[in-house]
Amino acid sequence: MAVLTSDFMHASSHMRKAVAIEVLSTARTHCGQADTLTNGFKYANAVASAIEQEMGAKPQVGFNWHNGRLASVTVQFAELYQRKRVNQLAGRVRAVVETEFQQKPDNIILGFRIDG
């Protein structure tokens, strides 16, 4: 009987260690996700502010991370932006997004709201 109890205690000790490692690993992963989300909002606000300062119109900026990679950034203006040609605007938006997010997204979506 003493052998069974000893084996049980030994197995229980390993189980506790495994559970503790899993809990710490999960907490670290979620902390990293929270940091990514927090930094993403900080970067999005920096993009909106920089574009507003340079172009006089503040867009809404959204982002999508996928497995630690910046999948897309959406920059949407409240109205049709006509002070620059679309290709010039797209170039500036791309440069600001890459600078502020500190990486190149897979896609940048540039949009305008058009009243119907």
Residues 101, 63 contacting (CB under 8 angstroms): yes
CATH number assigned to the domain covering 2-112 = 3.30.300.30
Query: pTM here?
Result: 0.69
The residue ranges of every structural domain in the chain are: 2-112
Residue with tokens 């979620």: 30
Residue with tokens 């000893």: 6
DSSP reduced 3-state for 109? strand
The β-bridge partners of 62 are: 74
Per-residue pLDDT of the chain (116 residues; tens, 9 = 90+): 555 555 545 556 655 665 555 654 554 544 555 676 778 999 999 999 999 999 999 999 999 999 889 999 999 999 998 898 999 999 999 999 999 999 999 999 999 998 87
Residue 74 host element (H or E): strand 69-77
Start-to-end C-alpha separation, the chain: 82
Report the C-alpha gap between 61 and 49 in whole angstroms.
Answer: 10
What integer pLDDT is reported at residue 77 of this predicted model? Answer: 95
What integer pLDDT is reported at residue 36 of this predicted model? Answer: 67
